[in-house]
Amino acid sequence: MRMLVTGGAGFIGANFVHQTVADRPDVHVTVLDKLTYAGNRASLDPVADKITFVHGDVADADLGDRLVADTDLVVHFAAESHNDNSLTDPSPFVHTNLIGTFTLLEAVRKHDVRYHHISTDEVYGDLALDDPARFTEATPYNPSSPYSSTKAGSDLLVRAWVRSFGVRATISNCSNNYGPYQHVEKFIPRQITNVLTGIRPKLYGTGTNVRDWIHVDDHNSAVWTIIDKGRLGETYLIGADGETDNRTVVETVLELCGKNKDEFDFVTDRPGHDLRYAIDASRLTTELGWQPRYRDFRSGLEATIDWYRTHEQWWTPQKSITEATYRSHEAVLP
């Protein structure tokens, strides 16, 4: 089987390619990636001789058409993915998340190629901290940020292309991922690499916001389950019951690194900061029989800290520029 993975040099895409090469010797992977600030060719080093890498933009219609014509399945990870960046400059989010998805959909429609769309739980907006509800496939879309609204728009394009043109597609909306190869701008790697470089971790606002953490390998095994067994035209939510507030995450990172639990700073909150995300993944578990492997967030976090400790050469080039960008708009609260 020939598979096109967009965004395969990013965090989740690279882990997906590693897992696919290891578990599916019958699949030939071609990665299409623009290598933005978030893409890193080195993330594919462990599988470099087993895959084809194409440097390009998903919004390039000619390139997409040529690659899709030559593939059996497209898995679309490529996106601008960081909420904070979308508040500074939304324009690449519109380009990649909306125009990029539209461009790929036109190519899979023309060549009748199976398509899986990677999306986020953020399309549903947020939940109150004391709300017992969790997101399901029936929750109405209510995105908050330029990032989540462009992801919501891309999901709706997929649904329309399924209904209007019969495109053979599935969609998955996953909760917050953690694990190796995640860019140091994101919450968990930022705090781990802060501690490793002698910077105090930074908590937005009051630190009470809740995210539903899942290990990236569990996200990717769920994606494969949906590709193998999912019903065409359907949406599946992916989550692993990992609700944790941000302060607890930072305190656990500090503790696992042998520091005092209070050695962090509260900083300026993110504008429009979503309070809580929580996924009910029962359609995926009951209908498709998927189960996560990483059920203990603390030990998954410990393994992730070890990975960052032993892969300094992978993240050091990004660290000081990322922190300089944060410092330009972030103030430590009294």
Give the span between the Cα atoms of 47 and 30, in whole angstroms.
Answer: 11
Position 181 contacts ligand TDX (CB under 6 A) = no
Position 246 contacts ligand TDX (CB under 6 A) = yes
> How many CB atoms sit inside 10 A of residue 163's CB?
10
With CA atoms as reference, report the closest residue to 85 among 148, 174, 142: 148
147 is known as an active-site residue:
yes
Position 83 contacts ligand TDX (CB under 6 A) = yes
CB 105 within 8 A of CB 64: no
CB 27 within 8 A of CB 20: yes
185 is known as an active-site residue:
no
Q: Of the listed 57, 121, 155, 218, which one is catalytic?
A: 121
Contacts (CB under 6 A) with ligand NAD, residues 80-109: 80-81, 96, 100
Position 120 contacts ligand NAD (CB under 6 A) = yes
Give the span between the Cα atoms of 101 and 95, in whole angstroms.
Answer: 9
**DSSP of 92-117, one letter per residue?**
HHIIIIIIIHHHHHHHHHHHT-EEEE
Q: Of the listed 33, 122, 126, 218, which one is catalytic?
A: 122
Position 209 contacts ligand TDX (CB under 6 A) = yes
Q: Which is nearer to ligand TDX, 34 or 114 (CB)?
A: 34
**DSSP of 292-315, one letter per residue?**
-S---HHHHHHHHHHHHHH-HHHH
**DSSP of 142-156, one letter per residue?**
---SHHHHHHHHHHH
Of positions 79, 210, 237, 254, contacts ligand NAD by CB under 6 A:
79
Candidate ranges 14-22, 54-62, 80-88, 254-262; the one touching ligand TDX (CB under 6 A): 80-88
From the list ligand NAD, ligand TDX, none, which binds 113 (C-beta under 5 to 8 Å, kind-based)? Answer: none
Strand-pair partners of 171: 117, 235
CB 239 within 8 A of CB 214: yes
Position 203 contacts ligand TDX (CB under 6 A) = yes
Q: Closest separation between CB of residue 188 and ligand TDX, Å?
A: 7
CB 292 within 8 A of CB 216: no
122 is known as an active-site residue:
yes
Position 86 contacts ligand TDX (CB under 6 A) = no
Contacts (CB under 6 A) with ligand NAD, residues 268-307: none
Of positions 120, 144, 170, 252, contacts ligand TDX by CB under 6 A:
120
CB 67 within 8 A of CB 6: no
What string marks each residue from 34 to 63 as x (binds ligand NAD by CB under 6 A) or -?
Answer: xxx-xx-----------------xxx----
Contacts (CB under 6 A) with ligand TDX, residues 3-62: none
Of positions 9, 171, 223, 226, contacts ligand NAD by CB under 6 A:
9
Token pair, residue 90, equals 């939304």
Residues in touch with ligand NAD (CB under 6 A): 6-7, 9-13, 32-36, 38-39, 57-59, 77-81, 96, 100, 118, 120, 151, 174, 176-177, 183
The catalytic residue positions are 121-122, 147
